[in-house]
Chain A
Amino acid sequence: MAVYKRGYQRYQGPLTGRFARLMAMPRFAWERLLQQRLVVIMLCLSMLWPLLCMGFVYLANHLDLIPGMGGGLEKMVSINAKFFVVFMNIQAIFTVILAAMAGPGLIAPDLANNALPLYFSRPMTRVDYVLARMMVLAGLLSMVTWAPGVVLFTMQSSMAGWGWFTGNWRLGAGLVAGFLLWILVVSLVAMASSAYVKWRIIAGALVLGFFFILAGVAEMVNAVFRVDWGSLLNPSRSMYHIWCRLLGAELPEGPGTWEYASAIAALVVLLLVVLERKLRPVEVIK
């Protein structure tokens, strides 16, 4: 029978579980995200560098295709920790831009339209809401971070052989772990910005500004006080150090890994506090 003829009937069937309810939000958000032309264009652009790297991996394993080049080339195009760190660094820039474009549309409209009471009056907690929103960004950013990274690693392993894989498995694991950590930080920054300001454009600018301004502040602190711990204020720098440690690449000068890891942990806690304070079903004025 046609819906308009049937009339309203109360639903009394079985309800879905927590995970299915949680996944409903990302599904709707991805659908809407992929309708935004700019996001799709940026997503495509983000794939260029992994494609170039794939070409590089292919060449590195087929040096015979470039005749007349000596052993210097072989040394230059070797696939090692440095190669993957460079890959991660470039992709990290794209993730920040993508997060700045996609992140503000996740929470800011809910706050601007006072939609939070509708979510929280359903069987959904604030943690569920943050997880669901984070999944949107995590899914999107995974497409340009660890997913192509794993493809690169697998490609190199299959071309270079089992021996290379057993000697360098740490690169693959480090790449995935490093990117997951970066996705966590970038997603939290995007969500906190989106929760802090209700206007999408300003929230997007805030995401970009967060990384660029903090990098500038860190350099300023280092220069003014003639210290190196100012770099702890720069999340990109901290993450670069952690990636080098995870992948076993040469560590840059400055504070140690624990200091950088602590700085990232403190940042994550700070962002969670912002979300905790902003994402409330009702605002209580004390």
Chain B
Amino acid sequence: MPSVIELDNLRVQLGRREILKGISCRLGVSGAGKAIGLLGPNGAGKSTLIQTLLGFHMPVGGRARVLGFDCHRQPRQVRSCIGYMPETDSFIANMTAVSFLRLMGQISGLPAETALEKAHEVLFHVGLGEARYRQLGTYSLGMKQMAKLAQAIVHGPELVILDEPTNGLDPAARQRMLKLVREMKEEHGMNVVLCSHLLGDVEEVCDEVVIMKDGQVVHQSNLEEERRSNRRFVELEVMGDDSRLGEGLARIGADGVAEGEGRWRIVLQPEMEVAVLWKLAAEQDLLVRKLTHRRDSLEEIFLKAVGHLRQTPGEAAREEVAANGGL
């Protein structure tokens, strides 16, 4: 299975300024139906990367491949399997939503009758069924966002690139948009690249995340694995005599550091479940007041990647346990 996106020392220059400075990475797996979050501060090169994948910019070095096709040499093949939702308003104001989607479908290669059918289908899917004969110029901002999403998926692309899809949406519409994105990957097997400033959105729907800064990839991780590894670091607070807890932890193969007043930082073995701690506390007649995962949020990962945070709390916990003779 080829990667969804494969970048090999990709360099892009706009004017005399180098925007993408030799990016190399592999993202997603074709046909897996995963979402990739593309993050970075303003000017990091996210939009340039997306536009390069679409063939809008010519690389000055390296290469970019989408679903096995070279973006520069095979732009038609690449664009045939991509659906793109731009960040800014992009539509034809004096066209009805149905006509607009039908046109977009036909340009993407759908036969005329199928394009009309899909236009209706996708408009109902995004919640614009009742407004489908209205001119796009009369739509509200939220409706325009949905119309943009509809045009991106009308031809059933394998990869959908969404640039700030929740911009300007109220909380209910935002939830609906994220639900649609989740459906796209889970039910329809589409791969999604989600470019957003809202880390919560990315965290909610993405499986992988790439953080860019100054035209370079500064962090790439699998959020699922990240979440799994976070589950190993636990903060425990108990009431009662916890003097034998250290021994108990060692017996079950975990390691912990007492912080005083019943507070513990514990590192579990990878295969261990939190339930063992409950069992141990019950055996030692301890009352559990608090048991939390020491979880690195995407925001913390992001802030560290762009240099605003020295280390994430999870890393700090790991270091602390290690310094106290941990695992």
Contact = CB atoms under 8 A, between A and B. Distances in A.
Interface stretch (A106-114, A134-142, A158-166): A106-114
B239 interface: no
A121 B92 contact: no
A118 B151 contact: yes
A118 B26 CA distance: 26
Interface in B146-167: 151, 153, 155-156
A8 interface: yes
Nearest to B47: A282
A10 B188 contact: yes
Interface stretch (B110-118, B215-223, B270-278): B110-118
A92 to B, nearest CB: 30
A16 B80 CA distance: 11
A124 to B, nearest CB: 6
Interface string A111-137: 011110111111111000000000000
B86 interface: yes
A118 B106 contact: no
Contacts of B155: 11
B188 A8 contact: yes
B153 A114 contact: no
Given A24-B103, A109-B92, A113-B91, A15 B110 contact: yes
Contact of B88 (A7, A8, A112, A114): A114
Given A109-B92, A117-B86, A125-B75, A11 B151 contact: no
A122 B122 contact: no
B228 interface: no
**Most chain B CB inside 10 Å of its own CB: which residue of A3, A4, A7, A25:** A3
A286 interface: yes
B14 A123 contact: no
A21 B121 contact: no
A24 B77 CA distance: 19
Contacts of B16: 286
Contacts of B91: 113, 115, 118
A20 B110 CA distance: 9
A43 to B, nearest CB: 20
Nearest to B115: A24
B171 interface: no
A117 B56 CA distance: 9
A286 B88 CA distance: 20
B125 A118 contact: no
Given A115-B92, A123-B80, A282-B51, A8 B111 contact: no
Given A13-B114, A24-B107, A28-B103, A109 B93 contact: yes
B109 A15 contact: yes
B90 A21 contact: no
A113 B188 contact: no
Given A25-B107, A109-B93, A118-B104, A4 B129 contact: yes
Interface string B227-271: 000000000000000000000000000000000000000000000
B109 to A, nearest CB: 3
Nearest to A31: B99
Contacts of B75: 123, 125
Given A118-B86, A122-B79, A109 B94 contact: yes
A55 to B, nearest CB: 40
Contacts of A115: 90-92
B15 interface: yes
Nearest to A121: B84
A282 B56 contact: yes
Interface in A1-27: 3-4, 6-13, 15-16, 20-21, 24-25
A11 B90 contact: no
Interface string B58-88: 0000000000000000011101101010101
A118 B85 CA distance: 8
B120 interface: yes
Contacts of B114: 11, 13
A118 B84 contact: yes
Nearest to B104: A118
A282 B99 CA distance: 24
A118 B190 contact: no
Contacts of B90: 113-115, 117-118
Given A13-B114, A25-B103, A109-B93, A123 B109 contact: yes
A97 to B, nearest CB: 22
B205 interface: no
A121 B157 CA distance: 12
Contacts of A13: 111, 114
Given A109-B93, A281-B56, A286-B15, A24 B117 contact: no
Given A4-B124, A8-B122, A11-B156, A123 B51 contact: no
Shortest beta-carbon contacts, A-B, top 5 = A15-B109, A10-B156, A286-B15, A8-B125, A24-B106
18 contacts: A3-B117, A9-B156, A15-B110, A20-B111, A21-B109, A25-B103, A113-B89, A119-B107, A120-B54, A122-B79, A122-B80, A122-B104, A123-B79, A123-B107, A123-B109, A281-B54, A286-B14, A286-B16
Given A122-B80, A284-B15, A285-B15, 14 more contacts: A3-B120, A8-B125, A11-B110, A13-B111, A15-B110, A16-B109, A16-B110, A21-B107, A21-B108, A21-B109, A113-B89, A113-B92, A115-B90, A121-B82
